[in-house]
Amino acid sequence: MIRAAVVGAAGYIGGEVLRLLLGHPRVEVAAAVSSRFPGKRVDGPHPNLRGVTDLTFCTEEQLTEYDVLFLATPHRTTMRTLPRLAALAKTVIDLSGDFRLRDAEVFRRYYGEPHEAPELLDEFVPGFPELAREQLTGADRIAVPGCMAAAAILALTPLTDEGLIEPDVDVDARTGSSGSGATAGEANLHAERSGALRLFATSGHRHEAEIAQACGVRPTMTATGVEAVRGVQVVCRTRLREGITEQEVRAAYRRRYAEEPFVRVVAQRRGLYRLPEPKILLGSNFCDVGFALQPDSRRLLAVSALDNLVKGGAGNAVQSLNVRMGWPERLGLEFPGLHPV
């Protein structure tokens, strides 16, 4: 049993980290930090945890020592607090965007301001077992990827690893409202956000940089807010290199994910759910990936879906912890998702 603390525990990602850790057989949640709700019960902002825990939030000042620290604080907070917080735990798992990019210059371009701790960028390993399982073993600085980036990367790596596609990729991400967090504003007001099909980003989305870094492609990303709270679907439109066949594509996906506990290849010829769809993944750590060729051309769709708060965030963090600790990778992540839903 190891002791964990969660900073930023009152937010949506923080709450999901708590949910998963409270159900994890080898982790004890020793502290949950919230600057807004110190002293208040954790099941106030997270009503799904009623009857599951009696924990109350504490302040950052009240933190002592832990085996692992999860940082679910806003972008640009981690890079400021890390030097201080890192002293409290051997292992730090960051869920913000601060340590996902290796290149400080790329960070500056996508985040619009300089990185404040560029010397630490090299210390971080991606909290992404499908990409960095070996590095994660024993890693103590882990940066979990962005939700849309994670989905896109899982859709693309079977293709890019084997050099099957051309470098230009249109990344069309569709996302629920929980990705923008628990802070109320006009953009996530129910009357405005309900039923939306909102192209809120047509270029320069931060996750674009992560995709480029991981896959070595030239992504052009758009993001559309759709009617959902949880869930991300990514549709990548690209072209196969000359002469590549459907069988080779299918084999590449199969090979790449044969041993992966949380990636399922979904590319059927029939059925309602023949390509990945996020609604059946709510609460689950699965990422479904699939593809479809467009005949009479070399165009290919690579599609993926996940729950942005689980495989796109807290689930990847816990899976990374499992890998880092040498535990069975599925531990605490067994919930398969629901249907119908």
**Whose Cβ is closer to a second copy: residue 91's or residue 284's?**
284
Residues 6+ apart with CB under 8 A from 185: none
Find out whether 170 and 155 touch, Cβ atoms under 8 Å.
Answer: no
- Please provide the DSSP assignment of 53-116 as one string: ---B-B-GGG---EEEEEE-PPTTTHHHHHHHHGGGEEEEEE-SSTTS-S-HHHHHHHHSS--S
Its sign, for the CA torsion 101, 102, 105, 108, is positive
CA dihedral of 282, 258, 324, 310, whole degrees rounded to 10? -10
In our burial notation (b when 16+ CB lie closer than 10 A, e otherwise), range 250-277 reads bebbeebbeebbbbebbbeeeeeeebbb
Which residue lies nearer to a second copy by CB, 47 or 326?
47
Count of alpha carbons within 13 angstroms of residue 15, beta-carbon side: 20
| Kind plus residue range of the DSSP H or E element containing 4 | strand 2-7
Residue 12 CB, shortest distance to a second copy, in Å, is 6
Between residues 74 and 118, which has the closer beta carbon with respect to a second copy? 74
In the sheet that 299-306 helps form, which strands lie side by side, from edge to edge?
A: 198-201, 218-225, 168-175, 232-239, 299-306, 287-294, 263-265
Provide the residue count of the chain: 341
CB of 332 to a second copy, least distance (A): 10
Taking the complex as a whole, the smallest distance from the CB of residue 9 to a second copy amounts, in Å, to: 13
Q: How far is the CB of 262 from a second copy (least distance, A)?
A: 8
Shortest Cβ 125–a second copy spacing (Å):
26
Strands 141-143 and 125-126: parallel
Q: Is 287 a catalytic residue?
A: no
When the beta carbons of 38 and 118 are compared against a second copy, the nearer one is 38
Cβ nearer to a second copy, comparing 18 with 125 = 18
Give the containing element (helix H, strand E) for 319: helix 315-325
Strand order in the sheet with 2-7: 27-33, 2-7, 66-71, 89-94, 141-143, 125-126
Rounded least distance, CB 52 to a second copy, Å:
5
Nearer to a second copy by Cβ, of 116 and 273: the residue is 273
Catalytic residue annotation: 147
